[in-house]
């Protein structure tokens, strides 16, 4: 098969990969993005995914600057307050705590958007991008060479480029081809995701009930509807999946203690094993990792895709800068810079989410005591609370350019 030369290849067209491809093509790159799931997007028959994604302001600004925001805005729900409630039954009980975005300024923490809406908007945008070729094929081979990376698709077509962006998910073939190793771990937890209606308004408050098996999180959607991410042990999750809507509603109602009134209209349920993964390097040998190829986190604190979009934005920014200077966009200096910058963002967040999740699971007494004391302090010290909220978000100066305020 004839090999086609590109400026960049993006392998994997999930939300992180499609974003990277769109950003590169906006910078004038000739890009190919390959994913076998494009067939489904084209036929508008994606897999029924009931997850919603809470995107923080940096990610929202990226969507605004790329013209994607108007395509998702009508389904996006502002998140003004994040409430944490200790339902572990452990001593000492931590006080309930509200983190309100109004304490920081006049914009919400971010917006909650159904994942199929995000994917459809990215797909629609990508199809219109000049210089972006979308191929509905899987890569069967990836080879990193000194001057280029080569991929061979299932249909035999071959492409090569100086830079490959690996967005092919947690079991990435491209990551292996670059010789990048990963650390993986499991938690003996399953996350159920579904959406439901309720009789009382959610008032744009997201509530995370901290329970022994894991968090039970309600995230506001449009109208009197919310999304639920419910983390349980795998056998309990299996039992819950087998219940009818009436039985499941009763248990949900019990966990929420009537907060949202009468529940109804449950969507189908999706189940995700809760696992962790972090790449030991985020780029090497002309391959840069973005999204779940680089990091997988438990669904706590809305970190996963927010990190993935920051990966995509940074690699596009660095590649575009190299191109403007007439430099090689896959050169070792560039991949080293990407690796170094992403480390500062990914490592502390992965560690914090891991710690929070394990502290719920194992109920280490000093940790429970510290958490209770910490939340008491935060409740009574607005300045400390503001500092913690600011650190939970990402400072403007640490964001890729396209995600910054001005």
Closest CA to 295 of 310, 315, 313, 317: 310
Piece of 179-187, 279-287, 302-310, 316-324 that binds ligand FAD (CB under 6 A): 302-310
For 209, residues 6+ apart whose C-beta sits below 8 A from its C-beta are 85, 87, 215, 216, 217, 255, 256
- 3-state DSSP call for residue 258? coil
Closest CA to 27 of 329, 308, 307, 288: 329
Task: Report the alpha-carbon distance of residue 99 to residue 385 in Å, rounded.
Answer: 8
By rule CB under 6 A, what string of x and - marks binding of each residue 120-159 to ligand FAD?
------------------xx--------------------
By rule CB under 6 A, what string of x and - marks binding of each residue 255-284 to ligand FAD?
-----------------x------------
Contacts 24+ apart (CB under 8 A), 151-157: 151/9, 151/11, 151/34, 152/1, 153/34, 154/36, 156/1, 157/1, 157/4
- Residues within window 226-255 making contact with ligand FAD, judged by CB under 6 A: 229
Considering Cα of 388, then 207, then 306, then 299, what sign does the dihedral take?
Answer: positive
Task: Give, in degrees to the nearest 5, the angle at Cα 195 between 244 and 296.
Answer: 110
Q: Interface with ligand FAD includes 208 (CB under 6 A)?
A: no
If the CB atoms of residues 304 and 330 are measured against ligand FAD, the closer one turns out to be: 304
Q: Strand 139-144 and strand 149-153: pairing?
A: antiparallel
If the CB atoms of residues 153 and 322 are measured against ligand FAD, the closer one turns out to be: 153
The CA-to-CA distance between both ends of the chain, in Å, stands at 47
Q: Interface with ligand FAD includes 378 (CB under 6 A)?
A: no
If the CB atoms of residues 53 and 121 are measured against ligand FAD, the closer one turns out to be: 53
If you compute the radius of gyration of the chain from its CA atoms, what whole number of angstroms results? Answer: 22
For 242, residues 6+ apart whose C-beta sits below 8 A from its C-beta are none
If the CB atoms of residues 54 and 334 are measured against ligand FAD, the closer one turns out to be: 54
Q: Quote the least distance from Cβ 115 to ligand FAD, whole Å.
A: 6
Q: Interface with ligand FAD includes 81 (CB under 6 A)?
A: no
If the CB atoms of residues 173 and 341 are measured against ligand FAD, the closer one turns out to be: 173
Q: Interface with ligand FAD includes 299 (CB under 6 A)?
A: yes
By rule CB under 6 A, what string of x and - marks binding of each residue 83-122 to ligand FAD?
----------------------------------------
Candidates 58, 116, 308, 400; binder of ligand FAD (CB under 6 A) is 308
- Residues within window 19-78 making contact with ligand FAD, judged by CB under 6 A: 34-37, 51, 53-54
Q: Interface with ligand FAD includes 304 (CB under 6 A)?
A: yes
If the CB atoms of residues 58 and 323 are measured against ligand FAD, the closer one turns out to be: 58
Beta carbons of 341 and 65 less than 8 angstroms apart: no
* Interacting residues with ligand FAD (CB under 6 A): 11-17, 34-37, 51, 53-54, 138-139, 167-169, 173, 191, 193, 229, 272, 291-292, 299, 302-306, 308
């Amino acid at each position: 098969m004839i090999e086609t030369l590109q400026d960049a290849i993006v392998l994997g067209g999930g939300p992180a990969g499609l974003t990277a491809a769109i950003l590169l093509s906006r910078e004038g790159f000739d890009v190919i993005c390959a994913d076998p799931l494009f067939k489904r997007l084209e036929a508008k028959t994606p897999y029924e995914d009931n997850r919603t994604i809470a995107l923080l302001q940096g990610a929202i600004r990226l969507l605004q600057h790329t013209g994607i925001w108007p395509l998702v805005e009508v389904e996006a729900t502002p998140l003004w307050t994040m409430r944490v409630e200790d339902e572990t039954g452990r001593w000492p009980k931590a006080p309930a705590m509200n983190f309100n975005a109004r304490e920081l300024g006049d914009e919400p923490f971010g917006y909650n958007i159904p994942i199929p809406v995000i994917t459809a908007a990215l797909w629609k945008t990508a199809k219109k991008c000049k210089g972006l070729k979308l191929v509905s094929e899987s890569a069967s081979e990836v080879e990193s060479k000194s001057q280029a990376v080569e991929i061979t698709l299932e249909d035999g077509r071959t492409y090569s480029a100086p830079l490959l962006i690996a967005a092919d998910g947690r079991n990435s073939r491209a990551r292996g081809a670059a010789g990048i190793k990963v650390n993986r771990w499991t938690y003996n937890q399953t996350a159920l995701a579904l959406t439901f209606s309720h009789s009382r308004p959610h008032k744009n408050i997201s509530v995370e009930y901290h329970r022994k098996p894991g968090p039970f999180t309600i995230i506001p959607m449009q109208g009197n509807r919310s999304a639920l991410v419910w983390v349980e042990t795998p056998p309990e999750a299996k039992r819950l999946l087998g219940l009818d809507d009436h039985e499941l509603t009763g248990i949900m109602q019990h966990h929420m203690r009537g907060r949202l009134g009468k529940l109804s209209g449950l969507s189908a349920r999706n189940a995700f094993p809760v696992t962790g993964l972090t790449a030991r390097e985020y780029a090497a040998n002309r391959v840069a990792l973005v999204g779940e190829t680089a990091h997988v986190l438990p669904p706590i604190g809305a970190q996963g895709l927010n990190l993935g979009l920051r990966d995509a934005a940074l690699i596009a920014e660095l590649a575009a800068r190299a191109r403007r200077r007439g430099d090689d966009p896959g050169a070792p200096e560039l991949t080293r810079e990407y690796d170094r910058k992403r480390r500062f963002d990914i490592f502390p967040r992965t560690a914090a989410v891991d710690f929070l999740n394990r502290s719920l699971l194992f109920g280490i007494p000093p940790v429970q005591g510290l958490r209770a004391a910490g939340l008491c302090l935060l409740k009574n010290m607005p300045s400390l609370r503001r500092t913690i909220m600011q650190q939970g978000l990402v400072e403007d100066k640490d964001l890729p350019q396209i995600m910054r305020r001005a």
